[in-house]
Structure 1
Amino acid sequence: MKLTITAGPYVFDAVLETEKAPHTSKAFLERMPFEGKIVHVRWSGEGVWIPLGDFDFGVNYENHTSHPAPGHVILYPGGISETEILIAYGGVAFSSKVGQLAGNHFITITSGLDKLYEVGRKTLWEGAQSIRFEAAQI
């Protein structure tokens, strides 16, 4: 399924990884359009994240990684740290104050990858940015 992600002033095309992460994709689809605020990561490197506290998507690990590539969107379903969605814009070693984590890679950004670094830097230096995930208009 194709998605549109609007992060701050930037718009990206993306694909929901329904075959690789079917349960996470389904849970996320049920909550779309999904809106939040991205802030820069604290420990993980070049990424932005949506902190979600104790929000429960009702999923376990699938297609999980600690090293998402630029343009990969992962969901950490909670447990030893809070629930979160992370978007990698550069090198990421996904972790928290308690150590390394793994999140479910469930969305891949397919256009505008050259603008992801700008999103990360804007978030780092200017603060939280709005983000919206929605089904692409075909």
Structure 2
Amino acid sequence: MSDLRIIAGPFTFPARFETALAPKTCEIFRKLLPYSERVIHVRWSGEAVWIPLGDTDFKIPAENQTSYPAPGHLIVYPGGISETEILLGYGGVHFASKVGQLAGNHFITITGNHDDLPRLGKKVLWEGAQSFRIEAA
């Protein structure tokens, strides 16, 4: 069952929090809903879009970390050796920055409309930043 809806550009995706695997991260983001930003295409990580957040400090601990999010996985990097960011994979991803490989907390999984993920990625790549919203379903 999906408890979230992600609206990215013209696409809508059902999604769920990964509360069993990243409970503290999910708790923090649940309080931020609805969460709105814009996504741009990644620079180093492969097929993904991201939200650069600079020095934002969500006070997120490391949990359920990965450097290889699958398509439809949202991860958040809480900052440290690189800036804070949220990343959504739409294809092959090796999460990295100019300082090298990073690991982010996988905290949301898209549960449907997976065929639209590459369409979203290509739209962001060729047309630029797109609106991005996470909200309760």
Distance in 2, matches of 1:11 and 1:57, equals 25
Distance in 2, matches of 1:132 and 1:112, equals 16
List alignment gaps of at least 5 residues for structure 2.
Answer: none
Q: Post-superposition, which runs of at least 4 consecutive aligned residues in structure 1 deviate over 4 A?
A: none
| Residues paired across the two proteins, number | 136
Q: SS state of the match for residue 88, structure 2?
A: strand
How far does residue 91 in structure 1 lie from its aligned partner after superposition? 0.2
How far does residue 83 in structure 1 lie from its aligned partner after superposition? 0.5
Partner of 1:8: 9
Q: Within 5 Å, which residues of 2 pair with 1:43-122?
A: 43-122=44-123
Distance in 2, matches of 1:106 and 1:54, equals 20
How far does residue 59 in structure 1 lie from its aligned partner after superposition? 1.0
How far does residue 113 in structure 1 lie from its aligned partner after superposition? 0.5
Q: SS state of the match for residue 115, structure 2?
A: helix
Quote the RMSD (CA, aligned, Å). Answer: 0.7
Partner of 2:24: 23
The one-letter amino acid paired with 1:105 is H
How far does residue 60 in structure 1 lie from its aligned partner after superposition? 1.5
How far does residue 49 in structure 1 lie from its aligned partner after superposition? 0.2
TM-score, structure 2 normalization = 0.98
Partner of 1:124: 125
Q: SS state of the match for residue 32, structure 2?
A: coil
Distance in 2, matches of 1:126 and 1:99, equals 27
Give the share of equivalent positions with the same residue, in percent.
63
Q: SS state of the match for residue 81, structure 1?
A: coil
2:41 is the alignment partner of 1:40: yes
